[in-house]
Amino acid sequence: MLQHRRRRKEHRPPPGEPPGSLSPAPYARPTHLHLLAYDADRLVEHESPDVAEIEARIRGVGNVWIDVAGLRDVDKIRAIGQHYGLHPLTLEDIVQVVQRPKVDIYEGYLFVVLRVPRLEKGLVTEQLAIVLGHDFVITFGERPSECFDAVRSRLTHVHSRMRSRPVDYLAYALIDALIDACFPILERYGELIDELEEEVVERATDGLVSQIHVLRRSVMELRRALWPLREVLNTLTREGTPYVQHETRVFLRDCSDHVSQLLDMIEIDREVTATLLDLHLSSLSARMNEIMKVLTIIATIFIPLGFFAGLYGMNFDPDVSPYNMPELHWRYGYFYSLAVMATIALGMLGYFWAKGWIGGRWRRGGRGARERD
């Protein structure tokens, strides 16, 4: 079951700050660098290098992937930025992890921001920034990303297609891995919806309302994270975009299809959760009707009976006149009173039966409905 997570307090510089000032979020993790330089023949891998070392290590190797995980050490990030000529706004966007997905074209590189959804107790989305240059890819994530491991291990295979292709193919592979990681979340949503649907129809307990609501919010937040991705991939697959080779476009188009699939699924989830609330309300009303029927049947049968019993419990003095409660002295007075009560009770029951409140389905009018059945 999902739990509502209060929104993370967003970390922003105060209004009026000059752009390009880097201040890490209070929840930022320590920065780890992972260097991977490769071409078809060679592969250099180095964990957590000094930024200064990078140049030395990758000399002569064609393609470089620097994976920066954790954004607390802004000095390291600034150093990388200076080395690769990143614009101050790019660095600011990297450190302020509240960007929505976008592509910005700068001189010397493409800057892509994505949001990586993760399902903990509720939905969390974290920022991942990709800088794609002519022969380097730098990724900046809030934490080490599990789905990059698969890409990394593919890259270490000598015969991997990725080794012999330019870096934009690596960027594609990373984006693709991130998008694919969204499908399990939507499957989990689908299961939750199916469970809630059953619950609503079967039980309509009180807590369901807030569960539906939390689920609905999670769906909306996932949508928020993925919706701009369409535009991002459109830009990347468009003909004129620099740093993306023609051959890679067909692969990015495939990513784009996946995003459309995801958004289709989200759209359905949104509509279904919206109707779940109506369903719940409807279920509650139906329950209420059931309760009311029981109350009405019991009360309308026994209240008149109670009155009759009370009637003959009155103490009018039969001795004063023969008109005072003569029934009390009838030979079969008691039976007569019981018969009257039985008649009332049976009449009521008959009325309820005719209305369909007891012993069968609810019918509109007695006769017509019975003929139809």
Q: Which residues contact 164 (CB under 8 A, 6 or more apart)?
A: 39, 40
What is the spatial distance between Cα 284 and Cα 244, in angstroms, rounded to a whole number?
A: 56
Instruction: Give the nearest distance from C-beta 42 to a copy of itself in angstroms.
Output: 20
Q: Is 4 in the site for a copy of itself (CB under 8 A)?
A: yes
Q: Is 99 in the site for a copy of itself (CB under 8 A)?
A: yes
Q: Which stretch binds a copy of itself (CB under 8 A): 25-33, 42-50, 235-243, 270-278?
A: 270-278
What is the spatial distance between Cα 358 and Cα 363, in angstroms, rounded to a whole number?
A: 10
Would you say 39 or 73 has its CB closer to a copy of itself? 39
Would you say 49 or 88 has its CB closer to a copy of itself? 88
Coil vs helix vs strand at 39: coil
Would you say 46 or 217 has its CB closer to a copy of itself? 217
Q: CA 270 → CA 3, 180, 189, 221, 276, distances in Å?
A: 18, 20, 10, 11, 10
Among 56, 314, 367, 371, binds a copy of itself (CB under 8 A): 314
Q: Is 59 in the site for a copy of itself (CB under 8 A)?
A: no
Instruction: Please give the structure tokens belonging to residue 147.
Output: 């789905």
Among 268, 340, 349, 358, binds a copy of itself (CB under 8 A): 268
Strand ranges across the sheet with 123-132? 43-47, 32-38, 63-69, 136-141, 123-132, 109-119, 102-106
| Site map (CB under 8 A) of a copy of itself, residues 205-234, x = contact | xx--xx--x--xx--xx--x---x------
Among 277, 349, 354, 358, binds a copy of itself (CB under 8 A): 277
Would you say 57 or 363 has its CB closer to a copy of itself? 363
Site residues (CB under 8 A) for a copy of itself, limited to 278-297: 278-289, 291-296
Task: State how far Cα 6 lies from the chain centre.
Answer: 14
Instruction: Give the nearest distance from C-beta 112 to a copy of itself in angstroms.
Output: 13
Task: Give 218's Cβ-side CA count (13 Å radius).
Answer: 29
Would you say 120 or 206 has its CB closer to a copy of itself? 206
Instruction: Please give the structure tokens belonging to residue 282.
Output: 């409807």
Instruction: Give the nearest distance from C-beta 55 to a copy of itself in angstroms.
Output: 27
Q: Which residues contact 358 (CB under 8 A, 6 or more apart)?
A: 297, 349, 352
Coil vs helix vs strand at 34: strand
Among 22, 43, 79, 181, binds a copy of itself (CB under 8 A): 181
What is the spatial distance between Cα 170 and Cα 152, in angstroms, rounded to a whole number?
A: 10
Q: Is 102 in the site for a copy of itself (CB under 8 A)?
A: yes
In single-letter form, the type of residue at position 147 comes to C
Q: Is 334 in the site for a copy of itself (CB under 8 A)?
A: yes
Nearest to 70 by CA among 139, 155, 173: 139
Among 56, 317, 359, 367, binds a copy of itself (CB under 8 A): 317
Instruction: Give the nearest distance from C-beta 142 to a copy of itself in angstroms.
Output: 17
Instruction: Please give the size of the binding site for a copy of itself, defined by CB under 8 A.
Output: 131
Instruction: Please give the structure tokens belonging to residue 92.
Output: 């600011």
Site residues (CB under 8 A) for a copy of itself, limited to 294-313: 294-296, 298-300, 302-307, 309-313
Nearest to 48 by CA among 29, 58, 65, 35: 35
| Neighbour tally for 220: CB within 10 Å | 15
Q: Which stretch binds a copy of itself (CB under 8 A): 3-11, 33-41, 75-83, 124-132?
A: 3-11
| Site map (CB under 8 A) of a copy of itself, residues 13-52, x = contact | xxxxxxx---------------------------------
Instruction: Give the nearest distance from C-beta 73 to a copy of itself in angstroms.
Output: 23
